[in-house]
Amino acid sequence: MRFKKICTADIGKKNCHTLAFYKKQGGYKQAAKALKKWAPDDLIEEVKASNLRGRGGAGFPTGVKWAFVPKNSKKPKYLVVNADESEPGTFKDRLIMEKNPHILLEGIIICCKAVAIEHAYIYIRGEFVFATERLQQAIDEAYKAGILGDNCLRSGIKIDVTIHRGAGAYICGEETGMLTSLEGYRGEPKLKPPFPAVEGVFGCPTVVNNVETLANLPYILEVGAKAYRSIGPEKSPGPKLFCVSGHVEKPGTFELPMGIPLRTLIDKHAGGVWKGRKLKAVIPGGTSAHVLTAAECDVAMDIDSLAAAGTMLGSAGIIVMDDSTCMVDALLNVMRFYHHESCGQCTPCREGTGWLEKIVQRIAHGEGRMEDLELIHDVCDRMLGKTICALADAAAFPAQSIVTKFSDDFVAAIENGGSPAWKKRHLSTVGGGASHG
């Protein structure tokens, strides 16, 4: 089927964030159908058949996740929308919330009907003040128009939506950390099982879905699962928001069919590597993903193709680095991030992220030893799979792949008294010691 932009088609048009505009484009028709005509089980089956996979990072099939929620639970059920967008290189959900908030609300209604949920919380990162305001305006409009509330679109079904603002913590993008934070505590992740579908927020069955995932639902109902499945690769189909940043001429969010070649995305849509320079490295799915060298960039941007290439689509945050980049500085920056964001519960993560930062920093600052390269791998091995959540893995992946694939940069920094940028500035580099407010 012909590709159509679903989230970003009208962005830039006047008042595109308002209810009046959204309704004029046919908005809330699918929510009305879901509320009045679709049986919950049929909705779940339709979303399963669409092969829609989560857009937050893990790529789990959305319909399957919904089906895990027990049907006969006496407890209330909740939807928690993951709008904590904080994976470095990712800025797509913010765009949806600022420019097209009603598509998210329509997706929320469809999910709530399918899983018999009466209250959805949108967990939005605290820094997104403007997106929060836009979203609240949209929610207010929807309540006033009878789209949300005790009798949604006169269906007799009750759905409430509440925004919950975070306060600056990457770990709250991890689903169990997010639920702990929503309950009013430090956002420390919890062991799974129990999975949130069975025992989530407030001890009740909980669906956790990403903003972009939910925004796909109205379109799936509009065109049907079969047609949706034909957009891009059948096993991970659909329109997808790709975020391109770093050393390109035109950074931005591009809505394209899943499976678009990475080269096309960089060269055609993002205007190519900037300043006429050559490509050196690409992180394809947020900094938690394994890095790709320039030679590895002939790959399709979908969940399975990137997994086969040894990395991941993740949150589709594509960070492009040109041939002037020192990968020691790049890795130091990434390691500082994970060290700062580790919640501190698990020793391998709390200590490991700190060790990695220190080791890479001493290489960048001219105090590295050849054994440090082996030491980085050793520390990574002691972090991988040994913690409650995946933050330790997310720190170890880029450390392993950047050190392995760009060992020349590391050897040069060790042999020549530090990274080129460090030597030039002597004081601060790309990864220089940050203090955090």
Partner 1 sequence: MAQTPSFSREAMKQYKWFLSRYPTRRAALLPTLRLAEQQFGELGVAEMRYVADLMKISPAAVFGVVTFYTHYRRAGTGKFHLQVCSTLSCALRGSEDVVTRISERLGISPGETSECGLFSLSKVECLGSCDTAPMLQCNDDYHEGLTLEDVDQLIEQLRSEASQGVNG
Residues within the interface to partner 1 (CB under 8 A): 76, 85-91, 94, 125-130, 160, 162, 164-170, 181-187, 202, 243-247, 251-253, 283, 287, 317, 319, 321, 325, 329-330, 333-334, 337, 340-341, 343, 428-432, 434-437
* DSSP character string of 356-403: HHHHHHHHHTT---THHHHHHHHHHHHHTT-SSSSHHHHHHHHHHHHH
Rounded CA separation 252/12 (Å): 14
Min separation Cβ 430 and partner 1, Å: 4
Distance, CA of 71 to CA of 63 (rounded, Å): 14
Task: Measure the CA–CA gap between 29 and 284, rounded to whole angstroms.
Answer: 35
Minimum CB separation from partner 1 for residue 412, in Å? Answer: 19
CB of 426 to partner 1, least distance (A): 13
Residues 320-332 as b/e (b if ≥16 CB within 10 A, e otherwise) read bbbeebbbbbbbb
Q: Which is nearer to partner 1, 64 or 116 (CB)?
A: 116
411, burial (CB in 10 Å: exposed 0-12, middle 13-18, buried 19+):
middle
**In the bound complex, what is the minimum distance in angstroms from residue 164's beta carbon to partner 1?**
7
379 vs 396: CA distance, rounded Å:
8
Which are the contacts of 299, defined by CB distance < 8 A and separation ≥ 6? 261, 262, 284, 292, 305, 306, 309
Other Cβ atoms closer than 10 A to 75: 11
Q: To 5 degrees, how large is the angle CA 268–CA 271–CA 274?
A: 140
CB of 24 to partner 1, least distance (A): 28
Residue number with CB closer to partner 1 (139 or 221): 139
- Give the whole-angstrom CA distance, residue 326 versus residue 322: 9
Quote the least distance from Cβ 327 to partner 1, whole Å.
11
Nearest approach in angstroms of CB 333 to partner 1 is: 5
